[in-house]
Chain A
Amino acid sequence: MQLTYLEAIRKGIWEEMERDPTVFCIGEDIGIYGGAFKVTDGFIDRFGPERVIDTPIAESAIVGAAFGAALTGMRPVAEFQFMDFIGCAFNQIVNMVAKAHYRWGAPAPMVIRGPSGGNVHGGPFHSQNPEMWFVHAPGLKVVCPASAYDAKGLIKASIRDNNPVIFFEHKYLYRRIKEEVPDEDYVVPLGKARIAREGRDLSIITYAAMVHLALEAADVLAKDGIEVEVVDLRTVSPLDREAIASTVRKTNKVILLHEDVRTGGLAGEVAAIINEEAFDDLDGPIVRITSQDSPVPFSPPQEEYFMPQLKDVVREARSLKAY
């Protein structure tokens, strides 16, 4: 079945609610309204208001209540209207939930999901990529799917996981990509990267919407005879160290690309892993392409300047190939 990225996520949650009566949804405007982006559209009609719970505008309460329900053996799926607002619940997530299993052995099978990312002219509070706040909090898993197939398989794996999973849905992809998604039940395992395109000359390691930019750049570069390998990390915590090392061993040159800002972004961590696992395999400097270190600007020309563009990736790839 041809599904958009959004429909794939929706179908994944729907199937899990059909399959497992302990799964329920909680969040703002998710019931009759179906959520700001309509991911849970129709859920309340199918599963009833008991399992599709509209909450007050209270992000800490949403996370706290999800955690409490998880302690009784439920598997809550908590929606954040925009992942930018997750800062409101930061303490619940990093201090209450993330530390629970280490401190007192309490599993927290819960998913916190919602739209993140820019390129939609949403301005500083509707465009952020806050994944690194949570990558830095041990105890959480952080997932950033790039394709519709992965989005469905990863949301299902996240719901079935016994750990708290922060699931970033890139809102630029919601209705832009459409692909064949199997109708049957399948999961994409957490913590496993995939090769989105094979290549031998250099690797671009990336995730979320930037996977598509990398693939576009690979098409352009292929015309020049530069064969780019694109690695889609899919899960950014825990990272697939083996996949990172093996692509570097294969191509010996690597670009780290993400939409998140530069300082403290995932590229720094991936560069350190390459240093630890495959330093001797490098034939050139590790190149970072990221957004600039600033809030996400609103005006379209400014946002374009802020974010990595096709020309940036192509230019850096050519330069690295020639190194």
Chain B
Amino acid sequence: MAKKHKPPVTSKSSSNGSKRNQSANPLRTYEIRDYRLEKPSFTVRQVRHGDEVRYEVKGDLSAPVPPIRESKYLSKAQCIEIYRWMLLNRKMETALENLYKQGKVVGGVYFGLGQEGCSCASAYALKPDEWLGPLIRNQGSLLVRGFPARDIMMQYMAKAGSPTKGRDASSHFGDHQQRNVVSPISTLGDLIPVLAGVALGARLQGKNIAVMTYIGDGGQSTGVTYEGLNFAAVQNLGLVLFVENNLWGYSTPADMQFRVKDLAERAIAYGIPGVIVDGTDPCQVYDAAHEACERARRGEGPTLIEAKMMRMKGHAIHDAAEYVPKPLFEYWKKRDCIARFENYLVNAKKWLTKDENAKLISEIDRQLEADRDFAVSSPMPEPASAAGGTYCEPGCHQVKAKYGTPKVSVTKSSATTPKQREAAVHLK
């Protein structure tokens, strides 16, 4: 899909897919690669009905569900593995919902319902020595990075055995030693410069790696999103930024967060490639992620991938999402990523028989039951375990270069007295 933009015309930039116009036409054109097999077009607006202001959706919501796009890279076994992660992601969240209803969860539960394909297929494109920074709905990404479901369950139940030992909730944990996951914080966009810095650290140690993080249609409105992605672009760091456009930032529709038609267009302004995928199609998600990761490993810089889908629950478990127009739920329910992928594997490709599928599902159920029982019966932390650990004390961590000691070359210039030309000299 080509997008037309207004002048100026003088730039020779091509790294972001801009095509230098050979003719005298003063319009420049840019390319945003779009992997989708359908391009839904609708808007959500605030409309007054008598005493009430409601959200209303306008547009064609009658289109048939498109097929899964054939992956250029994924094998049969890999597709089944991603499908398995997606199932585990969803079923774990269902288990959490039940635990919440039983009063076993401390605080709320956040769901990635409808977004499991995006979380799992994107994280699947990373290598073990590469890094990921998840958001609250990317619990599937954490599973793919090797955290067992019981870890996430224990986080929600504030157990002593949780990855943060009870100190933080939900997906708010990480592992800088083995799994290379940066813990998210509650404010949005802050992971973007951090993951860029991880890529910078690796590059200083002689290795170009891919680093991946996410931002939503709501979170991308923050200033640190701009700062982080722009820094990655300027420094040519291997950041793969998934912009998960799930149409709702808490209760605010995407149409009230930004004016561009597609968030992938933002890439043009950073001078980096922008790609659009159907976030409910794991093959599209994986292919775009894989290509962006390969680009990162070649040292060619960041990529912005917009994944379009919908958050199929409220912001968190307390939020019934009654503000969402019902036709939108109906439209996206037909595009459920797991139902579509299951149909693709079982019926379209016949890579899974019905029996094999049933067996796979029951294995996940059995595993989750064990994880749930373990998490439920594990102890709460001792009160005094709130103390300590605020600082890294001697002996608690050894800091060493993860990818090898940086090779440094120094010139012969010496540490002489700084020149007396002072910029801020008027401040004296």
Interfacial residues, chain A to chain B (CB-CB below 8 A): 6-7, 10-11, 14-15, 18, 21-22, 24, 29, 33-39, 41-42, 45-48, 50-51, 53, 55-56, 58-76, 91-92, 95-96, 99-109, 115, 120-122, 126, 138-139, 141, 162-163, 171, 175
Q: Does B24 contact A (CB under 8 A)?
A: no
| With contact pairs A10-B418, A41-B419, A163-B391 given, residues A96 and B427 touching in the complex (Cβ less than 8 Å) | no
Q: Please tell me if the beta carbons of B227 and A72 are within 8 angstroms of each other in the complex.
A: no
Bound complex: CA A92 to CA B421 (Å) = 33
Q: Please tell me if the beta carbons of A68 and B196 are within 8 angstroms of each other in the complex.
A: yes
Bound complex: CA A7 to CA B418 (Å) = 7
Closest A residue to B226 by beta carbon equals A58
Q: Please tell me if the beta carbons of B198 and A72 are within 8 angstroms of each other in the complex.
A: yes
- How many chain B residues touch A (Cβ–Cβ < 8 Å)? 68
| Candidate in A45, A58, A109, A122 with the most chain B CB atoms within 10 angstroms | A58
Q: Please tell me if the beta carbons of A92 and B193 are within 8 angstroms of each other in the complex.
A: yes
Closest A residue to B202 by beta carbon equals A72
Q: Please tell me if the beta carbons of B228 and A60 are within 8 angstroms of each other in the complex.
A: yes
Q: Please tell me if the beta carbons of B201 and A41 are within 8 angstroms of each other in the complex.
A: no
What would be 21 A-B contacts, judged by CB atoms less than 8 Å apart? Answer: A10-B415, A22-B406, A36-B423, A45-B411, A46-B413, A48-B411, A56-B234, A64-B193, A68-B182, A68-B193, A72-B198, A72-B403, A74-B205, A95-B185, A96-B190, A102-B389, A102-B390, A104-B173, A104-B176, A105-B389, A163-B391
Closest A residue to B133 by beta carbon equals A68
Chain A residue numbers with a CB within 8 Å of B392 are 101, 107-109, 162-163
Q: Please tell me if the beta carbons of B224 and A64 are within 8 angstroms of each other in the complex.
A: yes
Chain A residue numbers with a CB within 8 Å of B29 are none
Chain B residue numbers with a CB within 8 Å of A18 are 410
Interfacial residues, chain B to chain A (CB-CB below 8 A): 131, 163-164, 167-168, 172-176, 182-183, 185-187, 190, 192-202, 204-205, 223-224, 227-228, 230-231, 234-235, 389-392, 396-397, 399-403, 405-411, 413-419, 421-424, 427-428
| With contact pairs A60-B224, A61-B227 given, residues A67 and B194 touching in the complex (Cβ less than 8 Å) | yes
CB distance from B99 to the nearest CB of A (A): 22
Chain B residue numbers with a CB within 8 Å of A67 are 194, 197
Q: Please tell me if the beta carbons of A126 and B190 are within 8 angstroms of each other in the complex.
A: no
Closest 6 A-B residue pairs measured CB to CB? A68-B197, A64-B193, A72-B201, A65-B197, A69-B201, A58-B227
Bound complex: CA A80 to CA B10 (Å) = 35
Q: Please tell me if the beta carbons of A162 and B183 are within 8 angstroms of each other in the complex.
A: no
Q: Please tell me if the beta carbons of B198 and A69 are within 8 angstroms of each other in the complex.
A: yes
| With contact pairs A11-B415, A171-B427 given, residues A21 and B197 touching in the complex (Cβ less than 8 Å) | no
Chain A residue numbers with a CB within 8 Å of B397 are 105, 107, 162
Q: Please tell me if the beta carbons of A126 and B427 are within 8 angstroms of each other in the complex.
A: yes
Chain B residue numbers with a CB within 8 Å of A108 are 392
Bound complex: CA A175 to CA B411 (Å) = 27
A33's contact among B231, B400, B423, by CB below 8 Å, is which?
Answer: B423
Q: Please tell me if the beta carbons of B418 and A6 are within 8 angstroms of each other in the complex.
A: yes
CB distance from B78 to the nearest CB of A (A): 28
Instruction: Add 10 more A-B contacts to A21-B401, A64-B192, A72-B205 (CB < 8 A).
Output: A29-B423, A56-B227, A58-B230, A60-B228, A68-B196, A70-B197, A70-B399, A101-B392, A102-B389, A105-B176
Q: Please tell me if the beta carbons of A73 and B402 are within 8 angstroms of each other in the complex.
A: yes
Q: Between A and B, how many residue pairs show CB distances below 8 Å?
A: 220
Bound complex: CA A196 to CA B319 (Å) = 60
| Candidate in B186, B227, B401, B410 with the most chain A CB atoms within 10 angstroms | B227
Chain A residue numbers with a CB within 8 Å of B402 are 72-73
Bound complex: CA A109 to CA B396 (Å) = 13
CB distance from A123 to the nearest CB of B (A): 10
Bound complex: CA A46 to CA B227 (Å) = 28
| Candidate in B201, B389, B428 with the most chain A CB atoms within 10 angstroms | B201
CB distance from A71 to the nearest CB of B (A): 5
Closest B residue to A65 by beta carbon equals B197
| Candidate in A10, A59, A64 with the most chain B CB atoms within 10 angstroms | A64
Q: Please tell me if the beta carbons of A65 and B204 are within 8 angstroms of each other in the complex.
A: no
Q: Please tell me if the beta carbons of B389 and A120 are within 8 angstroms of each other in the complex.
A: no
Q: Please tell me if the beta carbons of A120 and B204 are within 8 angstroms of each other in the complex.
A: no
| With contact pairs A61-B230, A95-B190 given, residues A74 and B167 touching in the complex (Cβ less than 8 Å) | no
Q: Please tell me if the beta carbons of B428 and A120 are within 8 angstroms of each other in the complex.
A: yes
| Candidate in A10, A61, A109 with the most chain B CB atoms within 10 angstroms | A61
Q: Please tell me if the beta carbons of B413 and A45 are within 8 angstroms of each other in the complex.
A: yes
Bound complex: CA A323 to CA B341 (Å) = 83
Q: Please tell me if the beta carbons of B419 and A73 are within 8 angstroms of each other in the complex.
A: no
CB distance from A266 to the nearest CB of B (A): 19
Closest B residue to A22 by beta carbon equals B401
| Candidate in B164, B403, B416, B427 with the most chain A CB atoms within 10 angstroms | B427
Bound complex: CA A24 to CA B416 (Å) = 19
Bound complex: CA A127 to CA B306 (Å) = 43
| With contact pairs A41-B418, A104-B163 given, residues A65 and B401 touching in the complex (Cβ less than 8 Å) | no
Bound complex: CA A58 to CA B421 (Å) = 25
Closest A residue to B172 by beta carbon equals A103
Bound complex: CA A150 to CA B242 (Å) = 46
Chain A residue numbers with a CB within 8 Å of B201 are 68-74
Chain B residue numbers with a CB within 8 Å of A91 are 187, 190, 224
Bound complex: CA A58 to CA B270 (Å) = 14
| With contact pairs A46-B411, A162-B399 given, residues A71 and B190 touching in the complex (Cβ less than 8 Å) | no
Bound complex: CA A53 to CA B204 (Å) = 11
